[in-house]
Amino acid sequence: MTQDTKRTDTSLDSAAAPAASAVSSEVSSGPGSGSSTAGRNAPGPTCEATLKTIIGLAQATMPQATMPQATMPQATTMPQAALPPADREQGVREAASRKQKPGAGSQERQASAAADTGSATSAQQRLARALRELPPEMALKLRTLMVAGRDGLSVHSVKINMTLGDGDAAFEAAASDSSENGPLLAEYLRRGHALACAAGLDLERPIAGWAVGEHNLDERAWLSFGRQLAQSQPDDWQCLTFAATGTQEVNKLYLKLGEHAWWSFQALLDRPSAAAVNKQKRALTRGRSKAISTPSLKAVAPRLLVAEGRALRRAARAIRARVGEPAESK
């Protein structure tokens, strides 16, 4: 691995670390209330809660200029002919003055851009602070998820260059560097979280146990699904959900990414043939089943809060993590 690559990993890892620190800093006293060591050693929120906080802080670093702007209603103007002569003359003079000052509008745009930049800088500072205050155990967990999401690796196989024994300087340097990658950090963490959920990993488990995973055929299939989930966009999927008659509880889910084979989730994970899925679709058109077909994981995620079947619940957690709704399915 090159020097530059290592630096990027460390920074993003540290970016993950701030999540918990941001949470603890909001609960504790204001800036300068204590050392980063004290903040990182204090009891903090769960990994799930920290992930949500850090992702939110990372997303907030995106300049407002990139966000859709609300359309402002145009002011109603009175025709010049309807104005008194004195007012008409005043309007003409003001218009001529504006023509002689072509930089006026430019100055307003520059001021707006400066405000957006200031907002993004403030958000980066909050993210960096949260990362610096993150407890070492949580910092390593988030770094592991970040690397897994960025590189499409199994969480069990991720190797990082930091340990719980590293000093404050290492964690603070990583936090400072990673805070500059806010929007990318949010996406990496969502992808890594999806990989972890697909692997059935309990995020609250000590980091020392994250490297241990099963390698049977079923778990290899889950790893393949997790990688597809992490390395694609939610809108790239075809989704078909079936619900029990008279309820909103989903009891079967079919997913397909592009030209890849179908996945099915119920009690077990399976790879049904295209013919089997088409049969289910024909039954749907004849009204024999209560099912919904959607073109995006974002649309299907809310329906998976209530799911029946061990494999289906596991897939639901991974899907909700990928689209940024990491709530547990029931």
Q: Please report how many Cα atoms fall inside a 13 Å half-sphere around the Cα of residue 293, on the Cβ side.
A: 11
Task: Enumerate residues 6+ apart whose C-beta is below 8 A from 124.
Answer: 61, 179, 180, 182
Measured CA to CA, the distance from residue 63 to residue 159 in angstroms comes to 33
pLDDT for position 164: 79
CA gap 33, 29 in Å, rounded: 6
pTM: 0.71
So what's the pLDDT on residue 178?
A: 67
Residue 35: predicted pLDDT? 43
- Provide the pLDDT for residue 205: 93
- Pairwise CA distance, residues 106 & 252, whole Å: 57
- Those residues whose C-beta lies under 8 Å from the C-beta of residue 306, and which sit 6 or more positions away, are 248, 249, 250, 329, 330
Residues 239, 258: Cα–Cα separation, whole Å: 11
Give pLDDT, residue 99: 46
Distance of alpha carbon 57 from alpha carbon 19, whole angstroms: 8
Backbone angles phi, psi at 175, to 5 degrees: -65, -45
DSSP, collapsed to helix, strand or coil, labels residue 301 as helix
End-to-end CA distance of the chain: 42
Q: Are 242 and 250 in contact (CB under 8 A)?
A: yes
**What burial letters (b/e) apply to 10-48, b meaning 16+ CB within 10 Å?**
bbbbbbbbbbbbbbbbeeeeeeeeeebeebbeeebbebe
pLDDT along the chain (330 residues), means of 10: 39 41 38 43 78 92 54 40 47 47 51 53 86 89 91 91 76 69 88 96 93 86 96 96 80 95 96 91 66 89 89 96 74
Surface-to-core class of residue 52, CB atoms within 10 Å of its CB (0-12 exposed, 13-18 middle, 19+ buried): buried
